[in-house]
Amino acid sequence: MTNDPKAPLTLLDEKNYAFDAPRVKPTQSKGGQSAYFSCWDIHAYYGESYIVQGVSFDIREGEIVALLGRNGAGKTSTLRAIARVDNPALKHGEIWLDHQPLHEMKAWQAARVGIGLVPEDRRIIQGLTVEENLKLAQIAPPHGWSIERIYDLFPRLGERKSQEGTTLSGGEQQMLAIGRTLARDVKLLLLDEPYEGLAPVIVQEIERTLEQIKQLGMTTIIVEQNAIAALHLADRAIILDMGTVVFDGGAQEVLDNADLRQEYLAI
């Protein structure tokens, strides 16, 4: 693959990083309103494989954005770059959340300033009960939702709070993964394939939950192969193709444009 022509970013020293001070003035979104989240010309690699190739977009506070594309388009890689996980490696570009420079952070730092990633594989901790998984998420501040509030959102988790998390059904594990993330103080919720591998009746239950989260005004990016379901939930859609943005507009516009869906989503 093409070698990166840009110099790698320099991370700030972990011990000296100031998490509570705004670093810059807010950027401006396309509508003239202040952008709550922005990524500018980000490039990310898995080793020598050039995956995210200059992605740029912004989000206003409270928006839900569906990040869509065919398999291999770079959706999950973009989400992981935003969350600042080690792979893919971010080599160029800037990522800002509520005045904070995520591009200068590691994953744990990004989590402390409000990034909440629900990964596709859920990563429920083996050997811990449902409640222990939730309590572990709150072992250090900043805290988000109380465990009681999470049980109100997911009554099934409350019923199974003493059951080992990894023995739950797939849908229940997805609920636990979302609940565990909400247990932190989340400013930007990143959902990676929340409907993957779930029965239709469970998908409907997760959809109802995400609708509740939407009504609460939580800023969210959802990556989902079930594009129609994601579009019905989202305010906006961003479509990736070969690691670049090929569409950024209203979710309803994609629902209404069969040619666009066929060209980039094969639906």
Q: What is the mean pLDDT of residues 175-189?
A: 96
| Residue 141 covered by a domain | no
**Domain count along the chain:** 1
Mean pLDDT (the chain) is: 89
| Residue 198 covered by a domain | no
Three-point CA angle 247, 61, 12, nearest 5°: 90
Q: How confident is the model at residue 266 (pLDDT cuts 50, 70, 90)?
A: confident
| Residue 208 covered by a domain | no
Q: What is the pLDDT of residues 7-36, one digit of tens each?
A: 444 333 333 334 444 455 444 444 445 689
pLDDT the model gives residue 7: 41
| Residue 200 covered by a domain | no
Per the structure, the complete domain to which residue 225 belongs is given by 28-114+221-267
* pTM listed for this prediction: 0.86
| Residue 65 covered by a domain | yes
Looking at residue 57, which CATH number applies to its domain?
3.40.50.300
Q: What is the mean pLDDT of residues 73-85?
A: 97
Q: What is the pLDDT of residues 249-263, one digit of tens each?
A: 999 999 999 999 999
Residues 6+ apart with CB under 8 A from 79: 67, 117, 190, 192, 221, 223
| Residue 181 covered by a domain | no
pLDDT surpassing 80 at residue 136: yes
| Residue 90 covered by a domain | yes
Pairing type for strands 27-28 and 34-35 reads antiparallel
Range with lowest mean pLDDT among 96-100, 131-135, 206-210 = 206-210
| Residue 146 covered by a domain | no
Q: How confident is the model at residue 110 (pLDDT cuts 50, 70, 90)?
A: very high
pLDDT the model gives residue 23: 53
